[in-house]
């Protein structure tokens, strides 16, 4: 029988994960699910645990739910550990979005200045979790959904010395679903060759029952309906751009290839107190009110309003693949190992991979096309610099990462935004203690 531990168990996403586990119980019999959270999240954890027990009862399966703030106790002998936490919760997300916006930059939770700050808060915590796992669950697979998923995965492989760590994202899953809808075909008959980085992934080819339909999708169908997700403004791509790029863009490419329009939208939202963080706080409030209902024993529809809808399919399919050695092709964040020939072997990429019980085997995708090549190399270099800063806690490392990011690209502005963000995130950045004290002294004089 299988033991799964979910870190960030009090998340509003957890009911979707539980639904995914219950749906697959016949092929992956989970006997214990441990939900772990921190003291501040106890109330949410209690609500989620009660709902989880009602869902299990309804499904009539032999699975026990445990809830705790004692991470180490929970991790003991786990088969799978899933991570889905947000350091600083939505209040920190608001800072990631609003501080850059205040200075006329794109503020977004995984892109630009906000993405860097999220990585600086998250990477030390994930490395701490790895230390515990090494002690009490040395054979567990860790399935990470915590953003920025690509950077977190690379930080663990690089600095945590833990190879059984895989990053997942719901974006490729969402793109496949939308393409299937465009083709008016069942999702399982559509497959896309994905390659790139997390939130910077490209669909290189599209197959319907084994035959390439990329030209048909790109030249005829794109633009026929919305092609975005709940948390990203849907600005349509021009037909010529799609034809010329010869790839299926992901939703996040808008921040780079439609930068001015996206910035305009984000600044408008910021001005009207409608940043994504503020919207999400509202959605969360009403979700948790729903979750409290003692008659509720299913995942409520409203959960689809969160940007991470369908992530549990990605996470659960991966666990099933590893457990059953099922050789399915899934999109994961893992070491490149030659999959993308235009990137070094040891970096983490998001790529279609065959899932085996030994882990993902990335498919060979060759070199990235021109549209992807430059931006992917640039973002990868930024990610590596950002990881260095998260681990070193050195101000100068963080400044270089901030300025390298294509959505900042200014030393003067980068320094202003970095200083303000470091001060605002003080309690979540213990590794930057010395740098932050220095900044505080400067501001006080």
**Catalytic residue positions?**
252
Neighbours of 296 (CB within 10 A): 15
Q: 161: exposed, middle or buried (C-beta count within 10 Å: 0-12, 13-18, 19+)?
A: exposed
Are 327 and 361 a contacting pair, CB within 8 Å? Answer: no
Strand partners, 360: 355
Are 327 and 354 a contacting pair, CB within 8 Å? Answer: yes
Are 101 and 267 a contacting pair, CB within 8 Å? Answer: yes
- Write the DSSP symbol of residue 247: S
Please tell me the distance from the alpha carbon of residue 172 to that of residue 257, in angstroms, as a whole number.
19
Token code pair at residue 414? 């980068």
Please tell me the distance from the alpha carbon of residue 226 to that of residue 214, in angstroms, as a whole number.
18
Nearest to 311 by CA among 158, 89, 425, 147: 147
Are 237 and 222 a contacting pair, CB within 8 Å? Answer: yes
């Amino acid at each position: 029988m299988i033991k799964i531990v979910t870190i960030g168990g009090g998340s509003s996403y957890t009911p979707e994960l539980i639904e995914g586990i219950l749906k697959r119980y016949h092929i992956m019999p989970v006997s214990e699910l441990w939900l772990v959270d921190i003291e501040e999240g106890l109330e949410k954890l209690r609500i989620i645990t009660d709902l989880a027990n009602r869902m299990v009862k309804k499904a009539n399966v032999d699975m026990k739910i445990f809830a705790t703030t004692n991470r180490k106790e929970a991790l003991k002998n786990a088969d799978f550990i899933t991570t889905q936490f947000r350091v600083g919760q939505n209040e920190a997300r608001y800072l990631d979005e609003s501080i850059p916006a205040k200075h006329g930059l794109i503020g977004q939770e995984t892109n630009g200045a906000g993405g860097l700050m999220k990585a600086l808060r998250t990477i030390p915590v994930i490395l701490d979790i790895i230390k515990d796992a090494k002690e009490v669950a040395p054979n567990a697979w860790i399935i990470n959904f915590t953003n920025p998923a690509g950077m977190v995965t690379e930080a663990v492989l690089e600095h945590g010395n833990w190879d059984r760590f895989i990053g997942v994202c719901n974006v490729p899953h969402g793109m496949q679903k939308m393409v299937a809808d465009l083709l008016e075909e069942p999702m399982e008959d559509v497959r896309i060759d994905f390659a790139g980085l997390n939130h910077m992934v490209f669909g290189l080819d599209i197959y319907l029952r084994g035959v390439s339909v990329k030209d048909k999708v790109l030249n005829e169908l794109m633009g026929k309906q919305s092609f975005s997700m709940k948390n990203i403004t849907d600005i349509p791509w021009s037909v010529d751009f799609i034809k010329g790029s010869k790839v299926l863009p992901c939703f996040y490419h808008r921040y780079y290839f439609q930068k001015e329009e996206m910035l305009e939208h984000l600044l408008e939202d910021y001005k009207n107190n409608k940043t994504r963080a503020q919207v999400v706080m509202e959605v969360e409030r009403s979700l948790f009110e729903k979750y409290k209902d003692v008659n509720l024993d299913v995942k409520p529809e409203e959960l689809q309003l969160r940007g991470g809808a369908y992530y549990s399919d990605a996470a659960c399919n991966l666990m099933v693949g590893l457990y059953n050695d099922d050789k399915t092709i899934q999109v994961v964040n893992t070491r490149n190992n030659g999959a993308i020939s235009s990137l070094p072997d040891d970096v983490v990429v998001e790529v279609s991979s065959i899932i085996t019980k030994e882990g993902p085997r990335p498919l060979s995708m060759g070199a990235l096309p021109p549209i992807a090549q430059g931006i992917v190399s640039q973002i990868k270099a930024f990610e590596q610099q950002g990881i260095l800063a998260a681990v070193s806690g050195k101000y100068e490392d963080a400044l270089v990462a901030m300025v390298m990011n294509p959505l900042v690209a200014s030393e003067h502005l980068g320094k202003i935004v970095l200083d303000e963000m470091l001060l605002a995130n003080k309690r979540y950045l213990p590794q930057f203690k010395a740098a932050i004290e220095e900044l505080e002294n400067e501001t006080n004089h």
